């Protein structure tokens, strides 16, 4: 049976990938097809696999999370108000279809949530998990998840134990957890440590009557803000992706709706655009820039897996009809299918609507405001990770005027602590390159980890008439060609360069046993 699940998921995932859609849509369709043929998760294996996938995903989200960002007005304020208003609209629709006030209220609250899984996956895939709009999105999702936990408790998910107050002491463990992470090295022990902490956090919260998903996220958050945590997140990538296949298959296996379910689902789905508009204007009200408001809105315009999780608990306790599970599954599947491709094209969509949305901004200083001055820098390094900071130090040692740029507050804080001049800037934001003064800049080095981010930045720089050199750090031949076509006049392929240098040294007659490898290599430009 497992072979059937995996085989169908792979085939349909590959098919939708050819259509430029995320494979997760194929996994959802695979689940629906299996359900139509009477296949079910009788032994609960698929549920277990999917559950661990969500655990690992939320743990990696926590690794990028700064808890203090949750209490920001645009996060807690906008998230709370949006949930109340959208829940009220869903309540009215449910009552119009004959549901009681209690049933309608539970349905309304559950449908007010947005998908943490989908949001995290799309943000991570676009390389934007550390961007300002991503931090706002994740913060709002956490606020919603806290409400979901309350719903779980009130509808039969258990009452938190008195000992749960002891979780407030968890931050005291940060030094020990950091030490263990560092001591684990960079190989399999590091991965094992991450899995242990993710599952341990989930188990601890569950024992105390709280959400295991929240426990995994908190466990990750305890390690956030370090280079080691970023490395651990990368190691968990493939593992959590494989396990999440089980989650999306399980969503599809929920079954097929009847005609009444379809009518009710249609009425509920019609509210989704209203949720989107409400998100946008609330964020504008809380002083966000139009672009950030637009990006957050796209990220959060979907229904949530928590709707299904909490809905199953509520249905088993008799608070809502069992048929609502199928309705929830349908809404989630359709919203995923629509939201995923729209989110993938978020930057293109913003360019299409920015002339209409920018005038809606409030005339105040906005959170996440882009830098407009580089202080006369001769060189700009975008992406201040290990590679970017090394490039910065090389130029600084030779007394060039250099400025670093990053969209991750943790990276900015770290580099400022190293006495580097680093400013905030989202390289995928067209407004940054339109307004920033680059007149003194001789060259820009793009050292961000994601290829799409570097490609977008290169295109926008050229569109805004930056004529000087653009160098991009990349690891793959196809990325090299795409960047070259976009206007990067030179790109670095470190592994290829290292291989060539190694071969050069091996055939050199001047090499003796005491000579070291010199990697002062020129960029590849062909």
Q: What does the DSSP assignment read for 360-429? A: GS-SSPPTTPPP---TT-SEEEE--SHHHHHHHHHHHHTT--EEEEES-HHHHHHHHHTT--EEE--TT-
Is the torsion defined by CA of 36, 41, 46, 50 positive or negative? positive
Beta bridge partners of 473: 492
Residue 155: DSSP 8-state: I
- Whether 217 is covered by a domain: the verdict is yes
- Whether 504 is covered by a domain: the verdict is no
Residue in the structure block whose two tokens are 């009215």:
92
Taking the C-alpha atoms of residue 216 and residue 90, their distance in angstroms, rounded to an integer, is 30
Q: Residues of the chain with pLDDT > 70: what percent?
A: 90
Q: Is 101 helix (H, G, I), strand (E, B) or coil?
A: helix
Q: Residues of the chain with pLDDT > 90: what percent?
A: 22
- Whether 416 is covered by a domain: the verdict is yes
Q: What angle do CA 166, 170, 175 make, to 5 degrees?
A: 150
DSSP 200-262: HHHHHHHHTTS-HHHHHHHHHHTT-SSHHHHHHHHHHHHHHHHHHHHHHHHHHTT----HHHH
Taking the C-alpha atoms of residue 250 and residue 93, their distance in angstroms, rounded to an integer, is 27
Residue in the structure block whose two tokens are 């060039």:
400
CB 214 within 8 A of CB 149: yes
CB 95 within 8 A of CB 105: no
**Residue 91, both tokens:** 């309540």
Taking only the tens place, the pLDDT of each residue in 427-455 is: 877 778 878 888 899 999 998 877 778 88
Q: Is 318 helix (H, G, I), strand (E, B) or coil?
A: coil
Residue 322: DSSP 8-state: T
Helix or strand holding residue 40 (H, E):
none
- Whether 318 is covered by a domain: the verdict is yes
Taking the C-alpha atoms of residue 45 and residue 321, their distance in angstroms, rounded to an integer, is 25
Q: Report pLDDT for 156.
A: 54
- Whether 501 is covered by a domain: the verdict is no
**Residue 289, both tokens:** 């820039």
Taking the C-alpha atoms of residue 214 and residue 220, their distance in angstroms, rounded to an integer, is 10
User: What total of structural domains would you count in the chain?
Assistant: 2
Q: Report pLDDT for 56.
A: 87
Residues 161 and 109 in one domain: yes
Residues 392 and 347 in one domain: no
Taking the C-alpha atoms of residue 252 and residue 37, their distance in angstroms, rounded to an integer, is 12
Residues 355 and 384 in one domain: no
Helix pair angle (323-344, 290-300), 10° resolution = 140
Taking the C-alpha atoms of residue 495 and residue 511, their distance in angstroms, rounded to an integer, is 21
**Residue 3, both tokens:** 């072979």
Residues 326 and 270 in one domain: yes
Residues 227 and 348 in one domain: yes
Taking the C-alpha atoms of residue 234 and residue 216, their distance in angstroms, rounded to an integer, is 17
Beta bridge partners of 423: 405
HEC sequence for 476-508: CHHHHHHHHHHCCCEEECHHHHHHHHHHHHHHC
Residues 356 and 386 in one domain: no
Taking the C-alpha atoms of residue 171 and residue 393, their distance in angstroms, rounded to an integer, is 33
Q: Report pLDDT for 516.
A: 47
Taking the C-alpha atoms of residue 204 and residue 196, their distance in angstroms, rounded to an integer, is 12
Q: Report pLDDT for 11.
A: 92
Residues 299 and 426 in one domain: no
- Whether 372 is covered by a domain: the verdict is no
- Whether 429 is covered by a domain: the verdict is yes
pLDDT digit string (tens) for the chain, length 526 residues: 678 888 888 999 899 888 767 687 788 788 888 887 877 777 788 888 888 888 888 788 778 766 666 778 888 899 999 999 999 999 999 999 999 999 999 999 999 999 887 887 788 777 777 677 888 898 898 888 778 767 766 665 556 677 777 877 888 888 898 888 888 887 788 889 999 999 998 898 888 877 787 788 888 888 887 777 878 887 887 788 788 888 878 877 866 778 888 999 999 999 999 999 999 999 999 988 888 899 999 999 999 877 877 787 788 788 999 889 889 888 887 888 888 888 878 878 888 888 898 888 876 666 666 666 788 899 999 999 888 898 899 999 988 999 999 887 778 888 898 899 998 888 877 778 878 888 899 999 998 877 778 888 898 899 888 999 999 888 777 777 888 888 888 777 777 777 777 777 777 655 454 444 444 445 555 4
- Whether 512 is covered by a domain: the verdict is no
Residues 383 and 325 in one domain: no
Q: Is 443 helix (H, G, I), strand (E, B) or coil?
A: strand
Domain with 467 in it: what CATH number? 3.40.50.720
CB 190 within 8 A of CB 232: yes
What is the chain's Cα-based Rg? 25
**What are the φ/ψ torsions at residue 170 (nearest 5 degrees)?**
-55, -40
**Residue 275, both tokens:** 């949720």
Mean pLDDT, the chain, rounded, equals 82
Among the candidates 311, 329, 360, a domain finishes at 360
Taking the C-alpha atoms of residue 246 and residue 36, their distance in angstroms, rounded to an integer, is 17
Residues 81 and 150 in one domain: yes
Residues 293 and 150 in one domain: yes
Q: Report pLDDT for 25.
A: 77
Which one, of 325, 311, 332, lies nearest residue 269 by Cα?
332
Residues 406 and 473 in one domain: yes
Taking the C-alpha atoms of residue 241 and residue 239, their distance in angstroms, rounded to an integer, is 5
CB 505: neighbour CB atoms within 10 A? 14
Residues 256 and 162 in one domain: yes
Domain span holding position 207: 46-360
**Residue 64, both tokens:** 């990028």
Kindly provide the residue ranges of all beta strands, DSSP E only, lying in 34-167, ordered along the sequence. Answer: none
Domain with 138 in it: what CATH number? 1.20.1530.20
CB 262: neighbour CB atoms within 10 A? 14
Residue in the structure block whose two tokens are 């390389």:
127
Helix pair angle (227-252, 45-63), 10° resolution = 150
């Amino acid at each position: 049976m497992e072979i059937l699940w995996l085989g169908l998921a792979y085939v349909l995932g590959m098919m939708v990938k050819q259509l430029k859609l995320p494979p997760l849509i194929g996994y959802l369709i695979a689940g629906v097809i299996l359900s139509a043929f009477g296949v079910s998760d009788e032994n609960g294996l698929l549920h277990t696999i999917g559950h661990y996938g969500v655990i690992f995903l939320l743990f990696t989200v926590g690794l990028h999370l700064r808890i203090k960002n949750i209490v920001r007005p645009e996060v807690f304020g906008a998230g709370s108000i949006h949930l109340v208003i959208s829940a009220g609209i869903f309540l009215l629709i449910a009552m119009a279809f004959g549901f009681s006030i209690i049933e309608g209220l539970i349905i309304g609250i559950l449908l007010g949530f947005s998908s943490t899984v989908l949001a995290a996956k799309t943000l991570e895939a676009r390389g934007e998990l550390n961007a300002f709009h991503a931090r706002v999105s994740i913060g709002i999702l956490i606020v919603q998840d806290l409400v979901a936990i309350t719903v779980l408790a009130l509808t039969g998910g258990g009452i938190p134990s008195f000992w749960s107050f002891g979780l407030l002491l968890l931050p005291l463990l940060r030094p020990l957890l950091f030490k263990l992470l560092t001591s684990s090295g960079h190989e399999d022990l590091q991965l094992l440590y991450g899995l242990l902490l993710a599952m341990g956090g989930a188990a601890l919260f569950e024992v105390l009557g709280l959400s295991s998903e929240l426990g995994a996220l908190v466990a990750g958050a305890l390690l956030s803000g370090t280079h080691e945590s970023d490395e651990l997140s990368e190691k968990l990538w493939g593992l959590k992706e494989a396990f999440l296949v089980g989650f999306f298959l399980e969503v599809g296996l929920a079954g097929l709706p009847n005609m009444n379910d379809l009518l009710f689902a249609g009425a509920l789905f019609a509210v989704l655009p209203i949720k989107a508009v409400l998100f946008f204007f609330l964020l504008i009200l809380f002083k966000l820039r139009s672009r950030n408001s637009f990006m957050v809105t796209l990220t959060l315009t979907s229904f949530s897996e928590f709707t299904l999780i909490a809905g199953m608990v509520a249905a088993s306790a008799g608070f809502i009809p069992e048929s609502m599970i199928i309705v929830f599954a349908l809404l989630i599947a359709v919203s995923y299918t629509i939201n995923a491709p729209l989110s993938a094209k978020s930057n293109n969509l913003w360019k299409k609507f920015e002339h209409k949305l920018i005038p809606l901004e409030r005339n105040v200083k906005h959170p996440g405001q882009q830098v407009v001055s580089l202080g006369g820098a001769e060189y700009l390094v975008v992406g201040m990770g290990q590679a970017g900071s090394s490039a910065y130090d090389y130029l600084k040692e030779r007394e060039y005027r250099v400025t670093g740029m990053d969209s991750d507050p943790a990276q900015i804080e770290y580099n400022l602590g190293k006495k580097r001049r680093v400013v905030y800037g989202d390289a995928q934001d067209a407004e940054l390159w339109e307004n920033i003064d680059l007149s003194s800049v001789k060259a820009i080095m793009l050292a961000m980890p994601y290829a799409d981010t570097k490609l977008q930045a290169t295109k926008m720089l050229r569109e805004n008439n930056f004529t000087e050199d653009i160098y991009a750090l990349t690891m793959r031949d196809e990325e090299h060609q795409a960047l070259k076509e976009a206007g990067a006049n030179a790109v670095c392929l470190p592994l290829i360069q290292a291989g060539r240098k190694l071969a050069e040294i091996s055939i050199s007659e001047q090499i003796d046993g005491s000579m070291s490898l010199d990697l002062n290599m020129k960029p590849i430009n062909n």
